[in-house]
Every structure is written in C-alpha cells, then in structure tokens.
Chain A
C-alpha cells in the first residue's frame, strides 16, 4: 500500500447535500489524495458525484454510470475500481486516489502521465484520467507487467478518439516494455 501523507486542508470547500434530499445522511471520514476529509453525504450519492460535485475533484469523469467505460476509475485503497458503482457512504474510513493525486510529490507528472504527453496518448482527454489510474497502478506494482497483461488492462477503458495505438505505446514505454518512440516523422514534410 502506498503511504499517503495526511494533511487536512481547511481551504477545501466541501458542499453539503441539497436541503431537499430525503435519503438518510452519513458522516464519513476519508483520505482523498492524502488529505483527510470529513463530510456529510446522503445514502444514494455516487462516489463519482461525491468527488466531483462535493469536493470539486472533477478530474474523475463520468462516461456511462454503469461500469463499462472506465472514465471514472479511481484507486480505492490502491486498487482500481469504478467510482460510479460505489455509494459515497461505502468509502467511510478508506482512502481514495484520483487523477489529481497521481503527480509526484514535487508536482511533476508521474511517469505514465509524462508518457501520455510524450506519445500523444490522448486527444480529447476525457477517458485519460481513468486510463492513467489503471496504468499507474500497474506501474506501481512490484511484479513486472507483461505485454498481455497490459493489453488486458487497456481493455478496461473505452477511448473514442485515439484508436488506442498511442495509449498502448505510451503505456509500454512507461512500463519499460519498449524503447522510447523513435521520432522518425518530426522533420519538415513538404512536396512529393
């Protein structure tokens, strides 16, 4: 398990359930990206909406709300899960890491994030946070990742823009499964 530093931020504004929300409330205490957070949530609030609407952590995206697309994938106690299929009260006492918590301590993008930039692994960027979560957890694993395993994990997210090729290349590179992309097409291209 990754050690998460606990810092309580007083700056974060945590929104409350709407007054007219009728379902039972729960007080939850959670670690989000290393920050201790206490919040009141209603029973039916999805974890995605807790992160996005109540905490303002909008890097976790909503693509289907039924577990298919992978855009909402976050780490729950370091394990990738679909945050659209969890209720916020279920995470009481647990830790969550979102795309906002992936960068290194000094703020530089982590290896997988950098590889996505270097290999043009994203276009619109909407599916990207979910993929980065899944792939970062692979990269942080102690047992080396095989190409087949990587392919298997890539199938857990839908990307509509890239055709996956550059994502695959970025991940292979960041996981040490291939040498850096040879930039053979960077020169001026003009005239036949």
Chain B
C-alpha cells in the first residue's frame, strides 16, 4: 500500500520510553504517591497443608497504626472466590474429553491451607513496617495434614490429597494425537525412550507485583493502579468479585517492571486490595516484597516428560509418544494453557505421522503456577530436542543432520499438522522456512570447526560441546485486541489499547504502526496502553500476542481515522474528501497545498461545521481478531565449555536464527530475542525453586534463587529470515517468548556433547539446572568413568 511507505515500520526507531526511565522519572505502582494510602502486609500460611485450628487477630486489630485486619470470615460474603478466566475449554478440545477442574481460589484461606505462602489474613496499616509488626501479632495454630510436593508422588495411587475436598490430585488431563504411534514405535528401526524434566522456575520480574486502589470521593468509582499484564481482565475480575459495575472500576497498568507471565495471572491479593479501599474509603496499596514474589507468587515450568521417539534406519521420524506431567501447584489456575501449549508445540518443526501425547496437570501442595515466557514450549522443546539428540547418537548421525531430514519444508506451507491447535481448530503453520533456519545456524556456529576442535585434547582442563534446538511458536493468540485512536484537542493523535507494556516498548512500536497507517509523524503520537477507562475491551500482553493483535488493530484504526479525518475536513473545508490528502498532520487539497487545515484546527472546527455528519469527535475504535496463529520459529546453536573437575559450564558462543514475520522495529525485536535467551540460559544453568519434602520453600531470596548475572550471558549472535505472516495485514508474528524456548534444550545438548565426546563420559542430561553440582553428579555416576 502506497500510503504505508516509506514509513516507520521496519526501522530501528529509538524508543520513546527511555528518557524518562533513565532519569528516574518512571512511575511504577510503588512510585505513585496517593495521599493517605495505607499499606498492606499478609499473614501467609507457614504450612504446606494443614487445617487452621485457631486464628486470633485481636491483638493485631488493636495495635496502634493498624487500620483493619481481614480474615476469611470478614470477606467470605463480600468477595467471590477467584475463578481464572483461563479455565475455558474451546469446543474442539472439549471433544477430546479433557479434564479441567474448576477450583475457585478462596480469597483468604480458612480452615484449609494448601501451600506455604497462601494468604490467611490481610493487615492494613499506616505503613508497611507497622503492617508487618501487626502480622506478627496474629496468633495462629495449625493441625497438619499430609502434604505432597513431588509430581510423580502426587499421582501415585496412595498419594495424600492436595485439596481435602477433591477426589484426586489431577487438575487437568488431555490426550491428543494422530496416526498410530504405538504401532509405529513397535515397528520402528530405532526407538529412544527416556525421561526429561524441567525444574521449577519463577519469572521473578525485577519489579514485584503491586496494586494501589482508591475510591473516587465524588463518583464512588474505583481507580486501580496495577503492575498487571492484563488490565481489562483484572478489571472484570475485580468488578465481578466485589460486585460493582465494570464501568465503575478503572484499572491502569502504569510503568511495569517486567512480567513474563507472572503478572498475567490474577491473584487474590488483587481483589482484596480494591475491596479494602472501598470498604475503608481510603487508598490501599500492596507491594509484594521479594520474599512474597519468590514464595507466594506464581511459579512455573515444572514438568516431567516420559517421551519416546522412533525413526527408521535413515533417521526419518515415524512416531512421537509423550506422557507428561505439569505441576499446577495447589490449584488449577490456568487450565489448559501450559499443558496444551506444551502438547501442541512438542513436535514443533518436524514432520511426524504418528503422535500420541498425554498431558496431566497435577496438583501439589506448592505455590500455584502460571505460564512463564514460552508457557510450556521450553519444557516440551527440552523433551523433544533432548530425545532427538539421543536418537542421533543411537543412529550415529550428526544431530543437526537428523533434524534436517525431518523438517517440514517451506514448500509445504501453510502446513496442517493433522492435530488441533489451542483453539481446538486444525493446527496450521502459516509460513516459515525451517531448513533455512537450521542451515544458517549450522553455518554461523561453524559446526565443522567445533568438531575439529573436539578432536584435539582438552585445553586448560576444559572440554567443549555444541548443541542445537529448534522450535516453532504459534503466536498472536486471540480472541482479539483493540485500538482506539483519536485526534486530541491539541491536534495530536492518541492511541489507546489494552495491550500494555512491561518493557517491550509498545509506545514506540505501536506509534510506528499508527504513524504509517494514519499519516503523521511519530512525534505527534502518544500511546496510552492499559487504561481500561480509555478503551472498553482488551486482553493484555501475554503469549507473544500484542504486536499481532494490537498492532493490526492499531493499523486498522489508523486507516479508519484517516478516512474520518478526511471526511470531516471535507465538511469543514467544503470540498470533496477524495480531493484531500493527509500528510504529516496537515490536510490539504491535492494540487493546491495552500488550501490546508491542521489537525488541531480541524478538531476545533468540527462541532461548528455546517452540514457536518453530526457525529462525535475524531475517534475510531477497531478490534483485530486474528483468523489463525502466526507461527514463528527459530534455530538455536550453542558452544559450551565444561570444566569436568569443577562442573562449571560456560556458554562461549550462542547463535539464534529466528523467523517472526515482518519486523516492525529491528532493534527492539533483537533485544526481545536476547532477553529471552538470557532467561533460558539462567533457566538451564542456575535457576531452581526448591522445596523440601514437607513443602517448605528453600529458595526464598535472591541469595538462594540464583538469577543469571551479566557474566553468565555472552553476546548473542543473531540472524533472521522473514516469512511475512499471511494471517494479518502487517504480516507480523509474535516474538516475545521465542528466545526463551531454545536455550534449555540447546545448552543441555551441548553440555552432553562435551561430556560424551571429550570427557569420555556416558551421561544423559535429563533435567536442569546444570549447576556445577549437577554436572559433577552426572560425571560421578558415569559408568565409563568409574
């Protein structure tokens, strides 16, 4: 379209967000000063599973500085228990006969507590210091119940119940496939069966969750400032649970310091705080501390896959069978999201005719879990890509060659897998060129040179290895996202959308899109994302969806507004819309540029225009409903160094070749990939949420939960190919999560390669983190070394 070029889309425009953030002028929830705001601290369960036998809040209630204390009895009739919106099952998947238990979350627990960290009472006080003092004055006794922490133990026949009112510990179950995997495996030339697990992680955005609520003294409406990834969902949850109209709840996601999935799940604290603000007629805020963030906010990633892959003698895959468990924590909060994502991404870029995958979401007496960047894909990719490496070893083939032989080709696009996607519709990959991704990754990492170096003796006591991982990611999930655009009184153009940012730079990328589709300079655009009072509907920024959904909605809205502006200008200028053009915010008559009007002049003139349309100001709202997923893909290749004497693993070279459709802002896109890779490296090398067998969390501070530091992350080398998505007019795909999907598998493959080829070890890496301790443990257990 001529109107869209030459434009901003496709250029590394500097971020408009940055200047205020580098000056310390960002405004995160905890930075908002609202006069008289009271602070909250929670009494949280110290038991993994117990019945509260006594709860006495009287001393806390009478402590000076305490404004209110809420326990279950105070709110049970006031706030409806939380049922997450994610628990829907689309009709297509319902036909598979899934289990997806609806397990409403009690607002405050009593009598049963089901994990350490569960909120039992909420103290509202003049300061967080005083609130914590008061929490310590609450007297509580428990009668302990049997707890279960381990996934496999939780589904064993004699397992204790995680929730005493349930029949078993299964929250989710679904099985899906195609062909006849059992038969194909029975007849296959080569079969590899093993167990690969991803250990429990936590998203741990540097800003913890926070919420501040205030009741408008005039209208009585609630204003809620939040660090949520999903402002409209939060609004609806609040309205529903405390029984007010959604119109009377305004949720604003302000500056948000990372989310990665953790802030995309609504939690009971986010309902209690607005309730208290209304109940007390006083602003109330809760800012989670790091201890709460690591122990009592959503965890993620814990899965165990029992996977079998089968191939013919040439390495052509004939079947994949996988039975896997997902640790849901103490309740089913997000239903099929993670289990089904893992299921329908497991086979990924490979063509396999026989597939049988069974996913079970298991309850345990641990903190609830949420999707975390990749949401099931890194875990599934870990299982699949590890299994492929074992298969390559079995056949005696270069692992990258095995992959090459099984990739779906670009000529097969769009490719129907024969399975159902997350919406329950036939799964179709829209575009991509997987062989090209792999071939570039093999070239960039210089595989022959690594193999050559491996044939020389180890230098400095260090061995090296190379690993690959490939994946696809069905991005841009619906059902919709919206954009409202308007010309403001000052003649600027403002965009409102529900897809708020947690650091992704939406104010920049969406402005690039709008500037092109509407026809103004970016400098004349303001993006306001995540304010529910500005656009009635939205979903939020999760699941690599914002650019596809909100980006295309923005483009549509920009086109509509452009036409509306031209129509209105025609009225005001008493000419024909077809004779007008809009350029850099000025509407002029084609061929006589002196006859013109600015947007600021136009907006003021509209109400006075004779014979005008009689409609309101210059504003348009548009929702984009993606017809299908936009499937992004990537190939990761990595070289690691391992020191067998200490178990230290270092990533020395990391290559990503990705495909995510048309790129709006290359620099921002690259940085999203790199950030994802860093989280993946941390995930496979150091991050691990550990519980003891009784359900006590052992990693409750950053001293115990190891986050990757700069020296763990090398400079990542990137390349990309572009296969514009046919599913949306911009041709874009999501890429927020992709970077995080590959590293666990690629690095585990590389470490195992190093240990097998150069250290003479007979080891199989089945889980992370690949801490020095894990690596030394593997070596100590290697039969060939002992």
Contact = CB atoms under 8 A, between A and B. Distances in A.
Nearest to A132: B22
A98 B433 CA distance: 49
Given A68-B701, A192-B722, A118 B14 contact: yes
A179 interface: no
Contacts of A118: 14
A58 interface: yes
Contact of A163 (B260, B667, B678, B702): B678
A111 to B, nearest CB: 11
B748 interface: no
Contact of A126 (B6, B12, B18, B206): B206
B109 interface: no
Contacts of A45: 129
18 contacts: A18-B127, A18-B130, A21-B127, A63-B206, A63-B207, A103-B23, A117-B18, A120-B14, A125-B17, A126-B257, A126-B258, A127-B206, A160-B258, A161-B258, A161-B675, A163-B674, A163-B713, A185-B666
B433 A192 contact: yes
A99 B205 contact: no
Given A21-B65, A185-B666, A160 B679 contact: yes
Interface in A172-192: 183, 185-192
Contacts of B711: 151, 154-155
A65 interface: yes
B24 interface: yes
Nearest to A45: B129
Contact of A66 (B11, B256, B290): B290
A138 interface: no
B205 A123 contact: no
B504 A123 contact: yes
A44 B260 CA distance: 34
B705 to A, nearest CB: 9
Given A19-B126, A188-B6, A192-B722, 5 more contacts: A63-B290, A123-B258, A127-B206, A187-B10, A189-B10
A151 B709 CA distance: 10
Contacts of A1: none
Interface string A94-134: 00001110110000010001101110101111111100100
Contact of A164 (B255, B505, B710): B710
B703 A68 contact: yes
Contacts of A120: 14-15, 18, 667-668, 671
Interface of A: 18-22, 44-45, 52, 56-66, 68-69, 71, 98-100, 102-103, 109, 113-114, 116-118, 120, 122-129, 132, 151, 154-155, 157-168, 183, 185-192
B64 A161 contact: no
Contacts of A19: 65, 126
A5 B667 CA distance: 39
B670 interface: yes
B257 A58 contact: no
B257 A124 contact: yes
A61 B28 contact: yes
4 smallest beta-carbon distances between A and B, as pairs: A59-B24, A124-B503, A163-B678, A20-B65
Contacts of A117: 14-15, 18-19, 22
Contact of A124 (B287, B502, B721): B502
Contacts of A189: 10, 662-663, 666, 720, 722
B14 A163 contact: no
A112 to B, nearest CB: 8
Interface of B: 6, 10-12, 14-15, 17-19, 21-28, 30-31, 33, 64-65, 126-127, 129-130, 204-208, 255-258, 260, 287, 289-290, 433, 436, 502-505, 662-663, 666-668, 670-671, 674-679, 701-703, 707, 709-711, 713, 715-716, 720-724
Interface residues of chain B: helix, strand, loop or mixed (majority):
loop
Contacts of A61: 28, 30, 206-207, 257
Contact of B23 (A62, A113, A159, A186): A113
B289 A65 contact: yes
Looking at chain A's contact residues, the main secondary structure is loop
A41 to B, nearest CB: 12
Contacts of B676: 163
Contacts of A58: 24, 27-28, 30-31, 33
Contacts of A185: 12, 666-667, 670
Contacts of B503: 122-126, 161
Nearest to A44: B129
Given A66-B290, A125-B503, A154-B710, A60 B24 contact: yes
B703 A66 contact: yes
A128 B21 contact: yes
Contacts of B433: 192
B722 A124 contact: no
A56 B129 contact: no
Contact of B19 (A21, A109, A190, A191): A109
Given A21-B130, A163-B713, A186 B702 contact: no
Contact of B715 (A62, A64, A165): A165
Contacts of A20: 64-65, 126, 130
B62 to A, nearest CB: 12
B297 to A, nearest CB: 14
A154 B674 CA distance: 17
A124 B22 contact: no
Contact of B678 (A22, A71, A113, A164): A164
B499 to A, nearest CB: 15
A100 B23 contact: yes
A165 B674 contact: yes
A57 B503 CA distance: 21
A92 to B, nearest CB: 20
B65 A122 contact: no
Contacts of B207: 61, 63, 124, 126
Contacts of B33: 56, 58
A121 to B, nearest CB: 8
A68 B22 CA distance: 21
A26 B10 CA distance: 57
Contacts of B31: 52, 58
B226 to A, nearest CB: 15
B623 to A, nearest CB: 26
Contacts of A191: 722, 724
Nearest to A113: B22
Contacts of B27: 58
A192 B721 contact: yes
B203 to A, nearest CB: 8
Contacts of A100: 23-25
A64 B701 contact: yes
Nearest to A154: B710
Nearest to B673: A163
Given A65-B289, A126-B206, A163 B129 contact: no
B255 A125 contact: yes
A5 B256 CA distance: 34
A162 B290 contact: no
Nearest to B436: A192
Contacts of A60: 24
A155 B709 contact: yes
B666 A18 contact: no
A190 B10 contact: yes
A127 B257 CA distance: 8
B294 to A, nearest CB: 9
A122 B19 CA distance: 10
A10 B526 CA distance: 34
Nearest to B7: A188
A166 B671 contact: yes
Given A58-B30, A59-B26, A165-B716, A158 B709 contact: yes
A52 B670 CA distance: 34
A162 B503 CA distance: 10
B674 to A, nearest CB: 4
B328 to A, nearest CB: 24
Contacts of A65: 289-290
Given A160-B260, A164-B710, A185-B667, A123 B675 contact: yes
